[in-house]
């Protein structure tokens, strides 16, 4: 917990608001709130980055009258005040670091180009701190290479937000994704790997002998780069998806499921393993879960299907797709279309969780590294890309199986071959 963030009561906040001259940021948070937990390290990092700003956190349930006086009904909600008056646009729901940074820079009148960047030199730069990136870091740092892992979020990747992982070797049947990734992080750290998390990447240059990665407050240089940026959920192609993203439309049940405690109905879109497994998980919170799928059968494993069909809190709507999100300030439901009859209907719902496939995170280097027709990085068996000194590992790579176990295998191969590549450079 940062000493720069104050935890105040309503009365203490009112006193600060009346006397503080400058920018003050107030975060109404709740306990057992996944989006609040995700925001917490970002909030603390911003408090360190902007010492001229006063950052305050307030437990919403314990200070309900003040929250209601501001019209705050959900957590997290971030408000900005300047010289005692609310300014700017509020941030609500799942809040990214870039959203918070841009809001603060705008209110403070800071131009991004004017930010001084710390320069780092390494033997190996790893872009991405999921299973592949952390395993590569373990192997590279154990080979006594100066290794820095850069991630735009928190370490762990998709695996850290998975409720449970039941097929990872060496675990007692199932293991929480967060626990497994914490073990990997600690092991990489124990061999000297540096983990630079919550770093917004602005530029990646991979050609030439010296590779370069530019983040918002740092610049990294190394002769070897391992790309392990993974993949992200495909967005729901429905009207008003962006309006409700993070506050009605979600892509991670583990992150946001608790927001729907006792909700009458929550929708899951998709029919693969992730959709079916997370639908079962959501029954821990919602009174009912409706799965909407574009086909008349699931693509999930038999075990996952059996568990869903046996759960009386889950129902299915087949041969249908979501066309629009309904509601004003809060989501009230979705409009769906039956693909066979083309008839449209409304399904009442408090929230939608989307699992319709993944897309690789390659936007910063897609013009340099060779990609396949779906945008995944092409490599050889040794995980070398078309650029000398650049390797790719994990879900961002072109392959047929994407699991934590295969990502770890990729990371090991990339880490070993990074060391071999550096050795070959010294022998020339």
User: pLDDT class for 400, splitting at 50, 70, 90?
Assistant: confident
pLDDT at 401 over 90: no
Catalytic residue among 36, 123, 151, 255: 255
Mean pLDDT, the chain, rounded, equals 92
Per-residue pLDDT of 231-284, as tens digits, reads 988 899 999 998 888 778 988 887 778 789 999 999 999 999 989 999 999 999
- Give first-to-last CA distance, the chain, whole Å: 49
pTM above 0.85, yes or no: no
Q: Which tokens in the block code for residue 190?
A: 């124990």
Residues paired with residue 127 on neighbouring β-strands, in sequence order: 150, 227
Per-residue pLDDT, averaged over 149-155, amounts to: 92
Beta-carbon contacts of 20 under 8 Å, excluding residues fewer than 6 positions away, are 54, 84
pLDDT at 153 over 90: no
User: pLDDT class for 2, splitting at 50, 70, 90?
Assistant: low
- What is the number of other CB atoms lying within 10 angstroms of the CB of residue 299? 14
Q: Is 255 a catalytic residue?
A: yes
CA nearest 410: which of 384, 389, 386?
Answer: 384
Predicted pLDDT at 30: 85
- Which range, of 4-18, 57-71, 85-99, 240-254, averages the lowest pLDDT? 240-254
Per-residue pLDDT of 11-38, as tens digits, reads 999 999 999 999 999 999 988 676 788 8
Phi (first) and psi of residue 258, to 5 degrees: -65, -15
pLDDT at 313 over 90: yes
For 250, the enclosing helix (H) or strand (E) is strand 249-250
Q: Three-state SS for 88?
A: strand
List the domains of the chain with CATH numbers.
Answer: 5-114 (3.40.30.10), 118-232+358-427 (3.50.50.60), 241-354 (3.50.50.60)
Q: Is 256 a catalytic residue?
A: yes
Per-residue pLDDT of 111-138, as tens digits, reads 766 678 899 999 999 999 999 999 999 9
- What is the number of other CB atoms lying within 10 angstroms of the CB of residue 83? 11
Strand order in the sheet with 218-222: 118-121, 218-222, 211-215, 201-205
pLDDT at 304 over 60: yes
Cα atoms found within 13 Å of the Cα of residue 123, Cβ hemisphere only: 24
pLDDT at 310 over 70: yes
Predicted pLDDT at 114: 66
Please provide the DSSP assignment of 10-41 as one string. HHHHHHHHHH--SEEEEEEE-TT-HHHHHHHH
Predicted pLDDT at 24: 96
Catalytic residue among 252, 319, 367, 388: 252
CA angle centred on 368, ends 366 and 372, rounded to 5°: 55
- What is the number of other CB atoms lying within 10 angstroms of the CB of residue 127? 28
Cα–Cα distance for residue pair 380/382, rounded to 1 Å? 5
Per-residue pLDDT, averaged over 152-172, amounts to: 83
Catalytic residue among 256, 262, 367, 380: 256
């Amino acid at each position: 917990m940062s000493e720069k963030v104050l935890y105040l009561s309503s009365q203490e906040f009112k006193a600060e608001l009346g006397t503080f001259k400058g920018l003050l940021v107030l975060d109404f948070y709740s306990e057992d709130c996944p989006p609040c937990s995700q925001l917490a390290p970002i909030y603390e990092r911003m408090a360190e980055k902007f010492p001229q700003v006063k950052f305050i956190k307030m437990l919403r349930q314990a200070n309900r009258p003040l929250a209601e006086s501001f019209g705050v009904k959900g957590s997290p909600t971030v408000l900005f005040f300047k010289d005692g008056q609310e300014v700017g646009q509020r941030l609500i729901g799942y809040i990214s670091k870039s959203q918070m940074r841009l809001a603060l820079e705008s209110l403070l009148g800071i131009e991004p180009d004017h930010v001084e960047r710390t320069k780092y030199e390494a033997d190996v730069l790893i872009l991405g701190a999921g299973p592949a990136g952390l395993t590569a870091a373990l192997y590279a740092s154990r080979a006594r290479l100066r290794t820095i892992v850069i991630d735009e979020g928190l370490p762990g990747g998709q695996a850290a937000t998975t409720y449970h992982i039941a097929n990872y070797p060496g675990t007692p049947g199932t293991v929480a994704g967060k626990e497994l990734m914490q073990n990997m992080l600690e092991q990489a750290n124990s061999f000297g790997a540096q983990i630079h998390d919550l770093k917004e990447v602005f530029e990646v240059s991979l050609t030439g002998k010296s590779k370069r990665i530019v983040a918002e407050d740092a610049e990294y240089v190394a002769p070897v780069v391992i790309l392990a940026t993974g993949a992200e959920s495909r967005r729901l192609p429905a009207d008003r998806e962006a309006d409700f993203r993070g506050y009605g439309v979600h892509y991670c049940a583990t992150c946001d499921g608790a927001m729907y405690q006792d909700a009458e109905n929550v929708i899951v879109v998709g029919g693969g393993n992730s959709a079916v497994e997370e639908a079962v998980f959501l029954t821990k919170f919602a009174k009912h879960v409706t799965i909407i799928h574009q086909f008349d059968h699931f693509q999930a494993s038999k075990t996952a299907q059996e568990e869903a069909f046996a759960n009386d809190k889950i129902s299915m709507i087949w041969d249908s797709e979501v066309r629009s999100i309904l509601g004003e300030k809060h989501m009230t439901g979705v409009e769906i279309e039956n693909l066979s009859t083309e008839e449209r209907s409304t399904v009442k719902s408090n929230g939608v969780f989307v699992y319709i496939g993944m897309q690789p995170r390659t936007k910063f280097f897609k013009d340099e590294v060779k990609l396949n027709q779906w945008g995944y990085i092409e490599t050889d068996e040794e995980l070398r890309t078309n650029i000398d000194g650049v390797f790719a590992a994990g879900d961002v790579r072109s392959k047929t199986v994407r699991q934590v176990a295969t990502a770890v295998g990729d990371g090991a191969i990339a880490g070993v071959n990074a060391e071999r590549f550096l050795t070959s450079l010294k022998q020339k």
